[in-house]
Structure 1
Amino acid sequence: MSWIARAASPNGLRVFEAAARHLSFTAAARELRSTQSAVSQQVRALEEQLGLVLFERIYRGVKLTEAGHALFVSVQEGFATIDRTIERLQHKQRHPHVNILTDFSFAAYWLMPRLPRFRERHPHIDVRIVTNQGVLDWRAQEVDVAIVFCDERALAGGVPLLLREEVFPVCSPGFLQRHGPIVDLEGLRRAPLLTLTADQGQRWLDWPSYFEQLGGIAYLEASELTFNNYTLLIQAAIAGQGIAMGWRGLVDDLLESDMLIGLHELSLSSRRGYGLVDARPDATGEAKRALQAWVLEGAAQGPGESGQG
């Protein structure tokens, strides 16, 4: 910062800005709750500090010189920047925000039904949800918390477990009436199966690994529809177009409302599951702490408790 910039007092610049905006020392004094003579003295002092003539005194007023006009534009821009910064900081203090990264299915079937309760409890916290169906890399995005599908190594490394992976076939009541009963793997593999692709490296269970791990039998690849979006796959199952793989914790509300029926006798569990990752461990704040506590609390609740605060 130059010596000249330091010599220009903030109060002198404020008085100058008001006088230049009104082109009147009297109107500036009225706005600043001062006197015309005080404003004139402040402006003259600023001109002496800067070694510049900022105003031409004319009959019944003043007008800006070329130097005065240039300074007026810069001062207005500077004050506007300060005002915007103060407003942004005050808004951030009044409304802290937290950014969550998760996949489409967890956002749609676990997070969104519960989120109104979080907002009731913390109305001053702004929540921003970022979704992606592929492998979620929270390091490459500006997020505070990531809820991601983790393998056993990540969970063993200290990532808090929210939902252990437990899957079972689900279908609509109408589909089961037409194609049922389905009581074993042999009947299941001959039914139309809805497939969720894992072509981006996702590690969740798919039909081939499900059949292999549960019964050691071959998968017939009898799928009629394949999706890369779990939300669309579940909508197809609700519409009676086939059997989907349902994840415990994600489809619970749909089972409770009888939109889907779960074939629980054919369930399979793994050591994987959804974990809660602190994407910015060095950053602390009320919003992130509140969200982390709320997510862990929600994960500890059983099915049918998603409406609880």
Structure 2
Amino acid sequence: MSETSLPPLNWLRAFEAAARTLSFTAAAQELHMTQPAVSQQVKALENHLGRALFVRRTRSLQLTEAGRIYLPTVQEAFETLGKGTRMLIGGDRGRVLTIHCNLAFSVLWLAPRLAGLYDRHPWMVLNIVTMVWDPKSFAPAADVEIRYGRATDDPPGSVRLGEDRCYCVASPDLEIAGEDWSRHALFDCAGIESNWEYWLAARREKLPRGRVINLATTYSVSIMAAANGAGLALAHDTLADALIDKGRLVKPFDTEVPLLEAYFLIPAATHNQTPASRAFEAWVLRQFQTD
């Protein structure tokens, strides 16, 4: 290893948490990772350094001499990074919060409720980071994450938000004859399991051969296309409730099915909790309970 070859930050964070807790399992819970992922990152760091940092026993973990020497250096480096970051963002990390969530959730759920959040916590400053695909590549930079994924894939340390239903939505101005959905353009979000085939199966129907679905990489496009009269879209409670309440969307059919995906709140790690993260997480949970 050359003198300038620094290991990746996530390897160092996994080592610091495991060394402080003397447990890969506890470190995984703290970092919202799986235990094998923490173990693999620590092993990668050991290979990078060319020496063992832990003595691994059946039910215990112990630092080697190299690990004991290295730990204070890593902890001091993280503290220095933390201080520098706090200075950069204005010296008050306690009120500044970076939130990572997908575009549809940000636009259709979070943004309409921000006035209520700021009424309750006027001191809070939010940096909202959105993405379409691959949330894991951006999430490490955020303090709090709200992730959308399969309901069976609960991220470690996460809290599931709500039990959504999936249904068809349309503009109240769209003329629909009885139960006939087939005359209209169909819109949906790509890459999800709660799709038109899933919804139609509950009606014991199928898409006609060759029928085309208009796909977007975010519900923001498909739902707003329906709201503006372009056709029918599939939606679910978290994203569509407010638009339905305001009369911008209607449910033209009674068919509703359980959403196969779900939203998960992934809180800030214990050692990264701040007044802003605690206040925001509590507010989100209250909002979903109220909804």
1 CA distance for matches of 2:231 and 2:154? Answer: 33
What is the match of residue 103 of structure 2? 104
Identify if the C-alpha distance between structure 1 residues 101 and 264 changes in structure 2 by more than 3 Å, giving closer, same or farther.
farther
Matched, 1:195 2:188: yes
Find the counterpart in structure 2 of residue 255 from structure 1: 244
* TM-score between both structures, scaled by the size of structure 2: 0.63
The one-letter code sitting in structure 1 at the alignment partner of 2:274 is G
Aligned to 2:257: 268
Measure the CA separation in 1 of the matches of 2:163 and 2:243. 19
The answer as to 2:228 corresponding to 1:235 is no
Listed as ranges, the matches of 1:62-141 within 5 Å are 88=87, 91-93=90-92, 96-137=95-136, 141=140
Identify the residue that residue 279 of structure 2 maps to in structure 1.
Answer: 290
Preserved contact between residue 86 and residue 93 of structure 2 (Cα < 8 Å):
no
Q: How does 1:139-154 map to 2 (within 5 A)?
A: 141-154=140-153
d(CA) in 1 for partners of 2:152, 2:93: 39
Corresponding residue SS for 2:141: coil
Alignment partners' CA distance in 1, 2:86 and 2:138: 29
How far is the alpha carbon of 1:293 from its aligned partner?
0.3
Bigger drift between 88-97 and 246-255 goes to 88-97
Aligned mates of 1:140, 1:86 — CA distance in 2: 17
Judging changes above 3 Å, is the alpha-carbon distance between structure 1 residues 136 and 247 closer, same or farther for their aligned structure 2 residues? same
Task: Judge conservation of contact 1:193–1:222 (CA < 8 Å) in 2.
Answer: no
> Please, what is the CA RMSD of the aligned residues?
2.8
User: Which residue of 1 is the match for residue 177 of structure 2?
Assistant: 180
* Change in 2 beyond 3 A, CA 1:91/1:180: same
User: Mapping of 1:14-33 within 5 angstroms?
Assistant: none
TM-score, structure 1 length as denominator?
0.60
**Structure whose residues are more often helix by fraction:** 1
Percent identical residues: 23
Q: Is the 8 A contact 2:103 2:131 kept in 1?
A: yes
Name stretches of at least 5 consecutive residues in structure 1 with no aligned partner: 1-84, 303-309
Q: What amino acid does structure 1 have at the position aligned with 2:198?
A: S
2:169 is matched by which residue type in structure 1?
Answer: V
What is residue 48 of structure 1 aligned with on the other side?
none
Q: How far apart in 1 are the matches of 2:256 and 2:264?
A: 21
- How many residue pairs are counted as aligned between the two chains? 208
Match of 1:57 in 2: none
